[in-house]
Structure 1
Amino acid sequence: KPGSTGQLPSTLSALQPLTELAGSTQIPASPAVAIWDRNGQLAYFGPYSEGATCTSSNSFIEPILDALVQGRPVNASNTLAVGCFCDWQSN
């Protein structure tokens, strides 16, 4: 969200990186995000945002999550992006 410091909310602190996901070598930018719907189907797999910074104003993720919560189908193809730098904490 706007004004965030780029840290994951505490509710998401248990997220773990995937070691491999089919098609991951074709992602045009990083960081990348995978989102599954309520039925366990992969709804989106691609870059987090379309710009050189990771914010909700240029994110592909918020509209996808909103659509899934509202039960609308997700059409998230052709998400070309320029990569951004996010300083992730190491484990």
Structure 2
Amino acid sequence: LGEGPNALRGRIAEVQWRGATHRLYVDVDGHRVKADVRELRDTPPLGSEVTLHFAPEDAVLLGSGVGDGAAPGIGGGAAPGVNDG
């Protein structure tokens, strides 16, 4: 939380305590971002505006096809031009 590189501003939608960490769900420009942060002494109230920042190597971006059962280019049928019979 706070200012830094690769900053995203949004509103807190949910906060979960997970022992040594807190999981924050933040609505950013119509997208729900999940961020795991070190345990917070004072958690931000729901609806409050926050800034998240992260190092590029700490981010995971999932494409729109995630959740449909197959990653792009992996499985999901025969190669182009192949006829199953």
Same fold flag (TM > 0.5): no
Structure ranking higher in strand proportion: 2
TM-score by length of 2: 0.29
